[in-house]
């Protein structure tokens, strides 16, 4: 199998990813920048063949799952909205999908189906790998503001529109179906691994050094009100 890596995107990479999903993803739209977008490029033999984009969920509450810091503190919800991330865009080049020039057993993970056709599992492989590291990587890039409030990212969610796909890649990546709304939109989720003490130390350090975090803490101190 070829060498597959997830390469964290910098600002230039995010711009590339937003342009790519606008052109090729089935939604044909970029992520809302207000969701604090971060992501990875999927590299196969050092060539970009896909991307994953993450951000804060647009919905600030989903009872009884997540909500505000105050709602979590009162037991109304399980976790705060700061402890949930959304895998909002998954895109892989047609070259690594069925029939593509790079969709071969010696390059991508997969299996032969009953008809003898090679089926790539690249999507579920990279999503599963990302789920193991995004909780740390995201907070390194965007340190928490208030270290005295829950900030570890405990859940990763992703929405699935059955008009386009059935959520198979999420199921194969370890996600579980959380709910299906009246319109048929499915919400899948997976619990993320706890951060290690070393990772917590790194995030704590970055949070204390972050100019944004310092500014928000200063504003809270001035008005004496919670911002979560």
For 74-104, write each residue's pLDDT tens digit: 999 999 999 999 999 999 999 998 889 998 8
Yes or no: say if 96 and 108 are a contact pair by the CB < 8 Å rule: yes
Domain contains 27: yes
3-class secondary-structure state, position 85: strand
Show Cβ contacts of residue 2 under 8 Å, excluding neighbours closer than 6 positions: 44, 45, 106, 107, 108
CA count, 13 A, side-chain hemisphere, 100: 16
| 224 vs 142, higher pLDDT | 142
Cα gap 178→190, rounded to integer Å: 9
Domain contains 15: yes
Domain contains 216: yes
Pairing of strands 47-55, 38-44: antiparallel
Reply yes or no on whether the pLDDT at 33 is more than 70.
Answer: yes
Domain contains 228: no
Yes or no: say if 173 and 122 are a contact pair by the CB < 8 Å rule: no
Residue 113's pLDDT is 85
| 176 vs 225, higher pLDDT | 176
Domain contains 36: yes
Residue 167's pLDDT is 87
Nearest to 52 by CA among 40, 62, 36: 40
What CATH code is carried by the domain that includes residue 134?
3.40.630.30
What does 147-205 look like in DSSP terms, one character per residue? TTS--S--EEEEEE-TTT--SHHHHHTT-EEEEE-TT--EEEEEEPPPPPHHHHHHHHH
Residue 226's pLDDT is 56
Asked whether the whole model's pTM tops 0.95, one would answer no
CA separation, residue 3 to residues 34, 93, 127, 201 (Å): 34, 16, 16, 31
Residue 165's pLDDT is 80
Cβ neighbourhood burial of 104 (10 Å; 0-12, 13-18, 19+): middle
Domain extent for 121:
4-223
The values of phi and psi at residue 33, to 5°, are: -65, -20
Per-residue pLDDT band for 177 (boundaries 50, 70, 90) equals very high
Residue 144's pLDDT is 94
Could you read off the pLDDT of 54-67 as tens digits, one per residue? Answer: 999 999 999 999 99
Residue 173's pLDDT is 94
Domain count, the chain: 1
Q: What is the DSSP letter of 102?
A: T
Q: What is the DSSP letter of 55?
A: E
Of the chain, the percentage scoring pLDDT greater than 70 comes to: 98
Residue 227's pLDDT is 47
Could you read off the pLDDT of 178-218 as tens digits, one per residue? Answer: 999 988 899 999 999 999 999 999 999 999 998 888 888 88
Reply yes or no on whether the pLDDT at 225 is more than 60.
Answer: no
Domain contains 122: yes
Domain contains 41: yes
Domain contains 130: yes
Cα gap 126→173, rounded to integer Å: 8
Q: Which of 26-30, 211-215, 221-225 has the lowest mean pLDDT?
A: 221-225
């Amino acid at each position: 199998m070829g060498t597959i890596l997830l390469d964290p995107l910098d600002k230039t990479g995010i711009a590339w990813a937003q342009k790519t999903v606008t052109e090729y993803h089935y939604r044909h739209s970029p992520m809302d920048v207000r969701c604090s977008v971060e992501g990875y490029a999927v590299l196969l033999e050092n060539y970009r063949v896909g991307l994953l984009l993450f951000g804060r969920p647009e919905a600030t509450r989903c009872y009884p799952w997540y909500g505000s810091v105050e709602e979590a503190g009162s037991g109304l919800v399980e976790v705060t909205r700061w402890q949930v991330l959304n895998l909002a865009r998954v895109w892989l080049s047609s070259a690594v999908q069925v029939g593509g020039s790079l969709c071969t057993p010696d390059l991508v993970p997969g299996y032969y189906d009953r008809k003898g056709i090679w089926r790539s599992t690249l999507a579920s492989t990279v999503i599963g790998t990302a789920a193991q590291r995004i909780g740390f990587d995201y907070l390194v890039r965007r340190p928490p503001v208030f270290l005295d409030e829950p900030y570890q990212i405990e859940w990763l969610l992703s929405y699935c529109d059955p008009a386009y796909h059935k959520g198979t890649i999420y199921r194969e990546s370890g996600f579980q179906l959380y709910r299906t709304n009246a319109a048929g939109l499915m919400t899948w989720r997976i619990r993320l691994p706890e951060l290690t003490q070393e990772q917590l130390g790194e995030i704590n350090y970055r949070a204390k050094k972050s100019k944004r975090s310092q500014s928000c803490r200063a504003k809270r101190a001035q008005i004496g009100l919670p911002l979560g």
